[in-house]
Structure 1
Amino acid sequence: MMLEYELKTHFGYNQFKMGQKEIVEALLNGKNVLAMLPTGTGKSLCYQLPAYLMEGVVVVVTPLLSLMQDQVEQMMSRGEKRVVAINSFLDRETRGRVFGRLHTYKFIYISPEMLMNEFVVTKLKKLVISLFVVDEAHCISQWGYDFRPDYLKLGDVRESLGSPQTIALTATADQEVRSDIVRTLKLDKWEEFVSSVDRPNIKMVVDYVYDTKEKLDRLLEWVSFLQGPGIIYFSSKKLAEEVAVILRDSGVPRAMAYHGGLDQESRILIQQQFIKGQLDVICATSAFGMGINKENVRFVIHFHMPLQLESYLQEIGRAGRDGENSISILLYSPHDEQLPYQLAEGELPTEYQISWLFRHFGDQLLYEWEEMEESIQQMGGFTETSWRLTRDFLRSLTNSMDLIIEKERFIEYVNTRKKHKRKKIVEILNWIQSKECKRKGVLSYFGEVSHGTVDDCCHVCGIVYDRYKTKCSDEVEFTPFQWKEYLRGLLTKSGTSYEK
């Protein structure tokens, strides 16, 4: 079989990207596959192309609704009509229509939460499933940076569907996480494809500033200096909104905020406007970017310190998917690590909350907690993320269990998770503060060795910043650190205060 011919026929490409062909061949040879490919290297094609050459239905498990929507729309834009997304946003009428003609679809994208529904699984059992795809598979592992409890049950779901051939895909996962993925999915035999995490065309900069005010000033400098489009990541929804307003007031009119607090329609609209070039800058939380197919993002800036190197690498990987040079900038001021520590704590229930839960409700947790779920979450002060984990634990309880023992087991599990999260924060903090080559530090973290030199590698090795600047009518040659006075002049002319 000439795979290049099939590639051209179905996708219009003349050749595979690195790693794609080997994965496609393994799937066509009936192998289960675990593949780690860097962000932007075409993971979706690795299962979509084999799907066209295999009989039966392809079930794709995807963690984010925005990612699912984007994948489905991309396929439809290529003329594929046999694709559907099954998630909580389907109304009753649409859901009934979809399940009534489920056998007519070739690609079924589905959220892990929907696979916990017995009705849904029963419907899927009636289909011939040729391929079971787990996208963003690092979500399976409790040690992954985006752990999702519902992913832990995918191995059982896979078995109930007859253990179909499976491919698990991720962009960043160390050996411990990859082992978790294989074990959870219950893969007896598999082939593993692990590509380098390095993206040489993305240049790494850590910009050290004194405090938050200087950080905001520097952010405005960078956005004015750099060629777009670009993404700015924040850990705060409120600050993402505020900075988007500041950017629009400061001469960047096509800037918008994107975060999980927006309604679904607004998120999809902003996402599509950015993809189609109607927006230049997105001020986003980590909810934005996963699966976004925009090739020409030229910069990614982190206003807040990420919680781990894995998510940092995932997010900067949204730049330069076209292979052209792009730049990533992490703004760091002293004690920035305090916010990640707070966020990590908020993602998990506290020992006090767990003790309160068992003391206050006792045996009711065995058979009545679901009826009181909303009030328990509010009374106990659980965050959305910490309650998701708590809810999953409560679902595992049975009448035969000793609640005192189970409470201690849950506390021990949560404390282990917190320790692991703190370790990840220390690791990225050490990387930020290190004076060694930033690329070398990232590769070393993932067990790779740096080979050769990269042009404009990082701020330690040296970067010619003018290569990444926006095109100005006067063609003035400024470095980012000379740009401040030029920006101040522009704002003064427009009647806008630079200090605003």
Structure 2
Amino acid sequence: MNVQEALKRHFGHDTFRTGQENIIIDLIAGNDTIALLPTGGGKSLCYQLPAYILEGTVLIISPLLSLMEDQIQQIRMRGEKRVIGLNGALSYMERQKALLNLNQYKYIFASPEILQSEAVASALRNINLSLFVVDEAHCISQWGHDFRTDYSKLGELRGKLGQAPCIALTATATPEVLKDIESSLQMKNAKMHIQSVNRSNIAIMIEECHSLENKMKRVSELVKKLKGPGIIYCSSRKWTENLEQFLKMEGVHDTACYHAGMEQEQRTLIQQQFVYDQLEVVCCTNAFGMGVNKGNVRYVIHFHFPAQMESYVQEIGRAGRDGLPSVAISLIGSGDMEIPLALLESEFSTYEQLHQTLYLLSAGTEAEEAFERTGVNEFQGRFILHHLEKLSYPLPGNEQQSLNVIWGKIEDRRKFKKRKLNAVMKWLLSKECRRQGILKYFEEKNLQTQEICCDRCGLDLLQYEEREEKHTHLQLLEWKAELKAIFGQSE
């Protein structure tokens, strides 16, 4: 079966999207591959289709449960039942049963953390892996915009599992991060498929608001005027809740908030309601987005701006995945840059916390208890343990050397993230075209120009607005059609 036949038979498509076919051909030929495709560019097909041509099982490492479950659901809706997710959603007995029968599956999804389990790794060694897939591969880089320590161990794990051809997929990565991905995954002569991060159908606008009250009123105005559905990104869980309540008070009732502090069932419900157009707008943290397979998001509003350009590009990329005109609006206030700076600092343990943690660990205290006693959070703890494991000298007896090395890593990471934040601030204040600034950041050589672009190039929001009478008329048609369907009436 060739790739065109597989595309038609298993996915019902006649043609590939830009770049997909060449990526798939390289994988089938056994080549390690790095693919940077813009959000909505069809990354999942690049590993799902080869599964039907290659013998064996495809292992997909995915960073988020919601993203994993969305991909699994899509595969099952296509009629493919040989798919499973190794994650916290499985009970102990379900996981044990799955590990005993892994060779029955065509697709296995797993988080990087669960792959550190020897039981899981052992079960995977006993099956024939045809592909080793790393989704959201920017997470593998120590300089990537969502650093996950267990991602950096995947290269070693891949070697233990038989060195199957590897594909690393991402939507946002600088050349520096792409090199880090290739090295960390121990790729050999990787084939590079790098597309532009530009999403030409998404217009970009930055608006300055002189007060918090002004910013909240502007959010309400935009949500009421703009064609929906839409997503509003906030910097904290509390602000997602505040905005949800504010919009409901303003008469926008089809709205909900979403953040990582909510119960998983509630998050799943909100995500599904949004996907199936039962919600018009979601106020959320960056925990929302990956795994939301929704093509008709018409706008993304940043109530707070992210601390890195990579995050911004990925978040606005949730709009217009159907290719239709969409808009990304960021509302900037006078004190807004203090928020990402404070969040940045909170990512790292203090020198005193690190010193106390290493002392407790050297005394035999369990890591979880040591972190709780010193106030080190989960992310900070993973960072400490990650670099502690890489040291050639053990605790106890080398606390001071370990302290010096790990504190140096923390300082390097802090400086790097501050440079990222400064790049964002420079872009926000620049007078040049917003899109050109983004493309320069990602070091794209062929800078693109287009008619509908950004506020610097003269953007009119009217084309993204929806007249109230049109909206009302649409609702009228919808309920009449629904009544006819219920009672079996025809035109």
Q: TM-score range by the shorter chain?
A: over 0.9
- Mapping of residues 282-431 of structure 1, within 5 Å: 282-359=282-359, 361=360, 363-364=362-363, 368-370=364-366, 373-396=367-390, 398-399=394-395, 402-431=398-427
Structure 1: which 5+ runs fail to align? Answer: 477-500
Residue in 1 aligned with 2:142?
Answer: 142
- Could you give the per-residue CA deviations for residues 259-297 of structure 1, whole angstroms, max 9, x where no partner exists? 100111111111111111111101110011013211010
Change over 3 Å in CA distance of 1:174–1:451 after alignment to 2: closer
Tell me the CA shift for residue 14 of structure 1.
Answer: 2.0
Which range moves more in the overlay, 60-69 or 444-453? 444-453
Equivalent pair of 1:305/1:330 in contact (CA under 8 Å)? yes
Tell me the CA shift for residue 403 of structure 1.
Answer: 2.2
Tell me the CA shift for residue 171 of structure 1.
Answer: 0.6
Change over 3 Å in CA distance of 1:475–1:237 after alignment to 2: closer
Tell me the CA shift for residue 10 of structure 1.
Answer: 1.3
Tell me the CA shift for residue 118 of structure 1.
Answer: 0.6
Equivalent pair of 2:436/2:448 in contact (CA under 8 Å)? no
- Mapping of residues 115-264 of structure 1, within 5 Å: 115-264=115-264
Asked if residue 445 in structure 1 is aligned to residue 441 in structure 2, the reply is: yes
Q: Distance in 2 between matches of 1:176 and 1:451?
A: 19
Tell me the CA shift for residue 5 of structure 1.
Answer: 3.0
Tell me the CA shift for residue 189 of structure 1.
Answer: 2.0
Equivalent pair of 2:298/2:325 in contact (CA under 8 Å)? yes
Change over 3 Å in CA distance of 1:272–1:474 after alignment to 2: closer
Residue in 1 aligned with 2:482?
Answer: none
Residue aligned with 2:456, SS = coil
What letter corresponds to residue 160 of structure 2 in structure 1? S
Q: % of aligned pairs identical?
A: 44
Which range moves more in the overlay, 315-324 or 345-354? 345-354
Equivalent pair of 1:201/1:325 in contact (CA under 8 Å)? yes
What letter corresponds to residue 291 of structure 2 in structure 1? G
Equivalent pair of 2:308/2:424 in contact (CA under 8 Å)? yes
What letter corresponds to residue 409 of structure 2 in structure 1? Y
Root-mean-square deviation (CA, aligned residues, Å) is 1.7
Tell me the CA shift for residue 185 of structure 1.
Answer: 0.7
Residue in 1 aligned with 2:47?
Answer: 47
Which range moves more in the overlay, 67-76 or 93-102? 93-102
Equivalent pair of 2:69/2:291 in contact (CA under 8 Å)? no
What letter corresponds to residue 147 of structure 2 in structure 1? F
Residue aligned with 2:469, SS = coil
Tell me the CA shift for residue 28 of structure 1.
Answer: 1.3
Aligned length: 470
Tell me the CA shift for residue 463 of structure 1.
Answer: 1.6
Residue in 1 aligned with 2:486?
Answer: none
Tell me the CA shift for residue 402 of structure 1.
Answer: 2.3
Q: Distance in 2 between matches of 1:180 and 1:401?
A: 33
Q: TM-score scaled by structure 2?
A: 0.93
Residue aligned with 2:463, SS = helix
Change over 3 Å in CA distance of 1:452–1:222 after alignment to 2: same
Q: Distance in 2 between matches of 1:244 and 1:461?
A: 32
Equivalent pair of 2:34/2:167 in contact (CA under 8 Å)? yes
What letter corresponds to residue 375 of structure 2 in structure 1? G
What letter corresponds to residue 376 of structure 1 in structure 2? A
Residue aligned with 2:452, SS = coil
Q: Distance in 2 between matches of 1:63 and 1:382?
A: 22
Equivalent pair of 1:440/1:449 in contact (CA under 8 Å)? no
Tell me the CA shift for residue 391 of structure 1.
Answer: 3.2
Tell me the CA shift for residue 15 of structure 1.
Answer: 1.3
Q: Distance in 2 between matches of 1:374 and 1:44?
A: 36
Residue aligned with 2:85, SS = strand
Residue in 2 aligned with 1:459?
Answer: 455
- Mapping of residues 25-40 of structure 1, within 5 Å: 25-40=25-40
Structure 2: which 5+ runs fail to align? Answer: 473-491
Tell me the CA shift for residue 63 of structure 1.
Answer: 0.7
What letter corresponds to residue 403 of structure 1 in structure 2? E
Tell me the CA shift for residue 21 of structure 1.
Answer: 1.1
- Could you give the per-residue CA deviations for residues 177-231 of structure 1, whole angstroms, max 9, x where no partner exists? 1111111111122101110010000000001111222111111111111110011
Change over 3 Å in CA distance of 1:264–1:204 after alignment to 2: same
Tell me the CA shift for residue 451 of structure 1.
Answer: 4.7
